[in-house]
Amino acid sequence: MKLLLILMVSVFLIGCAEHSKETQNIVAEIGDDVKFTFDDLQKYVIDWQYHIRYKDRREAYREALDAMVTNQLKRNDFFERGLDQEDHLIQSIRRIINEEMVAEYYKTQYVRKYNNEDEGMSSIERFEKDKKELIDEDKLIWNNKALNELFKWSENPVFFRGEYRDILQKTDNLVILKYDRGVVDYQECIRFFDDVLSPEKLSKINEEEFKKYFLEALRTDIIVKKAEELDLLKNIFNPKTNNVAIRNQIVYLYNVAVIDSQIPVPTDEMLHLFYQQYKDSLYYQLNRIHIYAMIFPEEEKANEIMQEIRNGIPFEETTGRWFVRSFIRDRDGRIRSYLSPEEPFLGERSFQLRLNETTGPVKYYDAKKEAQYAIIKCVNIIPEKQLLFDDVKDTILEDFKGYHREKKRQEVKDRLWKQYDIKIYEDIISKRIN
């Protein structure tokens, strides 16, 4: 009895320790059923390159967590709004869903059942064997005329970029293939291209490759139908899905349906008004300079290369290794790196150059406080000036859309964060980062 009591206490203490360990790893919660661990956050930071996009590590993790939680809220709202029932919306990712359905069918019907080996055959080998047997290739009847037409059309690069729909709908609906379960004609071919299997799976464009494609598409289509009969769609198409491809596509569709659909279609008058509102900021062109830079840790080597340039060897032909750097000068005179978080080590000297002028060595101290020696060449200068409407008429439409998209995105984010019960554990994040 005493031994049993000791065992029960031990199990209880171990359980408490494991629960405490898990709790200490949770960085965010949405309601009672969605939890994000620090491991989830760290993976998100790396997968989406937040550690590269943000110089400060804390900022990188903070921005990544914000995006990770917001995207989960969008997935929740996607299903609560019933957007998963909107066929016109889902159609755009139907092929991705079907590809993932095949993977889910394999996982549930083969990996779990056969545990990778059964009678000397691995689960993937058994799956491929069963898949091949879905179509009796001895009973296939191919229409060479249809295959030849497809081959000729596909020689045009735009055919597989969507042109196939228009061509196949307008031509006579030829049967491509007869098999033991039915036929595949041009209309079915459109469905295969759109929904079942990407025509990019064709390794080469010829009639034999088309035959292989149609057999693979047929088998894939049959497996998708089997997966639907087993109701496997709910395993991958739900708010909390772990399927990465589907997770990303749900967010994409949500943005299309809820954000992009709200962007106004501008008139010419609206574009002119937009220009007037933002001409002093968005359409004020700051002084910008672009340089090539060769960087050396030793001054002697830098002097040697600079002498070669003075002797007439073009900058680009000296070492063959140089970097592009760009700098911008704000209205207050502050110089910063353009489209880069890097400190503008060479910025001040760069703005002293004329177009195509080379100078050096320029001594500076890098982020590690180590002396470096640079030879720089100015390759482009963009002057400071007020842009006119005519200067931006080719880009202002996208600027207008981008402005309203960002405005709507922020409105949607604010609404979602108020709509759901969200807890963020900053102390856990800080502790784990440190």
* 210-255: pLDDT as tens digits: 899 999 999 999 999 999 999 999 999 999 998 888 999 999 999 9
In a domain, 31, yes or no: yes
Give the whole-angstrom CA distance, residue 168 versus residue 150. 9
Buried b (16+ CB within 10 A) or exposed e, 189-228: bbebbbbbbebeebeebeeeebbebbbbbbbbbebbeebe
Identify the domain boundary among 80, 109, 144. Answer: 80
In a domain, 419, yes or no: no
The dihedral sign for the CA sequence 148, 149, 153, 159: negative
- What's the gap between Cα 111 and its chain centre? 29
Task: Please give the pLDDT value at position 309.
Answer: 93
pLDDT bucket at 52, cuts 50 / 70 / 90: confident
Examine the domain organization and report whether 119 and 59 are in the same domain. no
Examine the domain organization and report whether 56 and 131 are in the same domain. no
DSSP string covering 290-345: EEEEEEES-HHHHHHHHHHHHTT--GGGTSS--EEEEEEE-TTS-EEETTS-S--T
Instruction: Please check the confidence at residue 117 and state whether its pLDDT lies above 70.
Output: no
Task: Please give the pLDDT value at position 21.
Answer: 43
Look at residues 238, 260, 261 and name the one whose alpha carbon lies nearest to residue 250. Answer: 238
* 144-193: pLDDT as tens digits: 999 999 999 988 888 888 899 999 999 999 999 999 889 999 999 999 99
Residue 160 near residue 194, CB atoms below 8 Å:
no
Instruction: Give the number of other CB atoms < 10 A from CB of residue 58.
Output: 13
In a domain, 269, yes or no: no
Q: Which of 117-126, 184-193, 313-322 has the highest mean pLDDT?
A: 184-193
Residue 357 near residue 289, CB atoms below 8 Å:
no
* 322-360: pLDDT as tens digits: 999 999 999 999 999 998 878 999 999 999 999 999 998
Residues 63-78: what's their mean pLDDT?
96
Which residue has better confidence, 319 or 178? 178
Residues 386-397: what's their mean pLDDT?
96
Chain-wide mean pLDDT for the chain? 89
In a domain, 409, yes or no: no
Identify the domain boundary among 80, 100, 134. Answer: 80
Q: Is 393 helix (H, G, I), strand (E, B) or coil?
A: coil
- Please state the pTM of the whole predicted model: 0.77
Question: Please, which residues have CB within 8 angstroms of residue 173's CB and are 6 or more apart in sequence?
Answer: 185, 186, 187
Residue 65 near residue 423, CB atoms below 8 Å:
no
Give the whole-angstrom CA distance, residue 338 versus residue 220. 48
Residue 162 near residue 153, CB atoms below 8 Å:
no
pLDDT bucket at 119, cuts 50 / 70 / 90: low
- For residue 408, what are the CA distances in angstroms to 63, 231, 405, 412? 19, 36, 5, 6
In a domain, 275, yes or no: no
Examine the domain organization and report whether 11 and 102 are in the same domain. no
Examine the domain organization and report whether 339 and 359 are in the same domain. yes
Examine the domain organization and report whether 96 and 236 are in the same domain. yes
Task: Please give the pLDDT value at position 176.
Answer: 95
| CATH code of 324's domain | 3.10.50
Examine the domain organization and report whether 133 and 65 are in the same domain. no
Which residue has better confidence, 119 or 299? 299
pLDDT bucket at 201, cuts 50 / 70 / 90: low
Its domain, for residue 344, covers: 284-386
Examine the domain organization and report whether 61 and 117 are in the same domain. no
Inter-axis angle of helices 426-433 and 38-47, to 10 degrees?
Answer: 70
Give the whole-angstrom CA distance, residue 125 versus residue 71. 37
pLDDT bucket at 369, cuts 50 / 70 / 90: confident
Task: Please give the pLDDT value at position 10.
Answer: 47
Examine the domain organization and report whether 234 and 290 are in the same domain. no
User: Would you state the torsion angle of the CA atoms of residues 391, 394, 400, 403, taken in this order, to the nearest 10 degrees?
Assistant: -80
One-letter amino acid of 428:
I
Task: Please give the pLDDT value at position 12.
Answer: 44
Q: Residues in the chain, how many?
A: 434
Task: Please give the pLDDT value at position 14.
Answer: 42
In a domain, 310, yes or no: yes
pLDDT bucket at 112, cuts 50 / 70 / 90: confident
In 48-143, where does DSSP find H-type helix? 50-53, 57-80, 87-90, 94-106, 112-114, 123-132
Examine the domain organization and report whether 99 and 219 are in the same domain. yes
In a domain, 348, yes or no: yes
Task: Please give the pLDDT value at position 280.
Answer: 93
Instruction: Please check the confidence at residue 16 and state whether its pLDDT lies above 60.
Output: no
- For residue 204, what are the CA distances in angstroms to 146, 151, 207, 309? 18, 10, 9, 49
Task: Please give the pLDDT value at position 203.
Answer: 57
Residue 343 near residue 357, CB atoms below 8 Å:
no
Percentage, residues of the chain above pLDDT 90: 75
Instruction: Please check the confidence at residue 320 and state whether its pLDDT lies above 80.
Output: no
Task: Please give the pLDDT value at position 207.
Answer: 83
Examine the domain organization and report whether 63 and 197 are in the same domain. no
Instruction: Tally the domains of the chain.
Output: 3
Examine the domain organization and report whether 342 and 301 are in the same domain. yes
The mean-pLDDT minimum among 101-105, 127-131, 340-344 falls in: 340-344
Instruction: Please check the confidence at residue 387 and state whether its pLDDT lies above 80.
Output: yes
Identify the domain boundary among 386, 406, 425. Answer: 386
Task: Please give the pLDDT value at position 204.
Answer: 67
Tokens of 100: 């993932």
Report DSSP state, residue 96.
H
Residue 289, strand partner residues: 327, 381
In a domain, 260, yes or no: no
Residues 133-145: what's their mean pLDDT?
93
Task: Please give the pLDDT value at position 22.
Answer: 52
What end-to-end distance do the CA atoms of the chain give, in Å? 46
Give the whole-angstrom CA distance, residue 129 versus residue 123. 10
Percentage, residues of the chain above pLDDT 70: 92
* 76-99: pLDDT as tens digits: 999 999 999 999 899 889 999 999
Instruction: Please check the confidence at residue 425 and state whether its pLDDT lies above 80.
Output: yes
Query: What is the side-by-side strand order in the sheet with 371-382?
Result: 335-337, 323-329, 287-296, 371-382, 358-365
Residue 206 CA neighbour count, 13 Å, CB half: 3
Examine the domain organization and report whether 337 and 313 are in the same domain. yes
